[in-house]
C-alpha cells in the first residue's frame, strides 16, 4: 500500500471468465489482492462489452460480481466491487436504444473505449448524440489513441462534448508504449485528465500500476492524487 486511501479504481478487468481478464476465481482473487495492496478501497469492474461478439447483460455480470464479492469476503480482502462495463464505441448507440448499457451507479455516466486503430471519423457526432440522450461518457485510456498522441488537444474536444477522460496509471511508466507514456504525462501537465485508473487485467501487471501511482504523485502532488483517484472518481460514479 502506498498510502493514498481511499482510492477508487474506475476501470479494471477483475471479473473471471468474461473477457481478457482473469480466467478463473483464483486469478480474480489475486487481482483484487493486488489492487487492495496498492491502496484501492473500491474497484469498478468493467469487462469489455462486447467480448468475442457477445454482450453480457447486467444481470449476467452482476451474478459474477456477487460470486467475486463472496470470494473476497471469505479471503478477507477489503475491496468494494462496483459494476460497470467498458463499452466499445461501435455498440454504444445500440445499447442505449435497447437498454443494454451498463452505467456507473450515478446513472448517467458510463465507461467507453474507442478502437486503438484510431478514432471513428464521426466520433464527435457520436459524443454529441450520446450527450443528447442525457449520458456522459467516461473515455478510457485516452493516451493510447493515435489522434491524441498526435495532438493532445483532441482531448479538449471530447471534454467539450461533456465527457470525462481517464488515463492508465501504467501508461505513466511506459507499460503500453512510449507515445502513450509521453502523452499521458502531457495531458496531466495540461490539466486535461479527470481521473486515473488501473485497467488491470492480471495480477502480474500490478507492479506497473504501483509504479505509475508513484510517478503520478511526483507529477501532481498529493492533492492531485486525491483529485484523480478519489474526488473526481467519486463524482463520476455518484458515491
CA dist., res. 120 & res. 186, Å (int)? 23
State residue 178's pLDDT score.
97
Distances (CA, A) of 89 to 101, 113, 121, 190, 214: 11, 6, 12, 25, 31
Among 208, 219, 162, smallest CA distance to 186 is for 219
Among 80, 38, 63, smallest CA distance to 200 is for 38
Tens digit of each residue's pLDDT (9 = 90 or more) over 199-229 = 999 999 999 999 999 999 999 999 999 999 9
Q: Please state the domain extents for the chain.
A: 7-237
Q: Span 7-237: which CATH code?
A: 3.20.20.140
Tens digit of each residue's pLDDT (9 = 90 or more) over 179-195 = 999 999 999 999 999 99
State residue 53's pLDDT score.
83
Tens digit of each residue's pLDDT (9 = 90 or more) over 157-170 = 999 999 999 999 99
What pTM was estimated for this model as a whole?
A: 0.96
Percentage of the chain beyond pLDDT 70 is: 98
pLDDT of 1 higher than 50: no
Tens digit of each residue's pLDDT (9 = 90 or more) over 24-70 = 999 999 999 999 999 999 999 999 999 988 899 999 999 999 999 99
Amino acid at each position: 500500500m502506498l498510502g493514498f486511501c481511499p482510492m477508487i479504481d474506475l476501470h479494471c478487468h477483475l471479473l473471471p471468465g468474461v473477457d481478457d481478464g482473469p480466467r478463473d476465481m483464483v486469478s480474480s482473487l489475486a487481482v483484487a489482492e493486488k489492487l487492495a495492496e496498492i491502496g484501492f478501497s473500491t474497484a469498478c469492474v468493467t469487462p469489455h462489452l462486447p467480448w468475442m461478439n457477445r454482450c453480457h447483460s447486467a444481470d449476467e455480470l452482476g451474478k459474477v460480481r456477487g460470486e467475486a464479492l463472496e470470494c473476497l469476503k471469505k479471503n478477507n480482502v477489503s475491496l468494494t466491487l462496483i459494476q460497470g462495463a467498458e463499452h466499445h464505441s461501435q455498440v454504444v448507440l445500440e445499447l442505449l436504444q435497447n437498454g443494454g448499457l451498463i452505467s456507473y451507479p450515478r446513472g448517467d455516466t458510463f465507461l467507453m473505449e474507442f478502437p486503438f486503430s484510431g478514432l471513428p471519423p464521426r466520433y464527435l457526432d457520436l459524443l454529441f448524440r450520446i450527450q443528447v440522450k442525457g449520458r456522459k461518457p467516461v473515455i478510457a485510456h485516452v493516451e493510447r489513441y493515435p489522434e491524441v498522441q498526435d495532438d493532445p488537444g483532441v482531448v479538449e474536444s471530447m471534454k467539450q462534448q461533456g465527457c470525462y477522460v481517464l488515463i492508465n496509471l501504467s501508461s505513466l511508466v511506459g507499460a503500453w508504449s512510449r507515445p502513450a507514456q509521453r502523452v499521458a504525462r502531457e495531458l496531466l501537465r495540461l490539466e486535461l485528465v479527470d481521473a486515473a485508473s488501473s485497467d488491470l487485467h492480471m495480477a502480474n501487471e500490478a507492479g506497473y500500476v504501483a509504479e505509475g501511482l508513484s510517478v503520478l504523485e511526483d507529477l501532481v502532488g498529493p492533492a492531485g492524487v486525491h483529485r484523480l483517484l478519489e474526488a473526481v472518481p467519486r463524482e463520476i460514479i455518484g458515491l
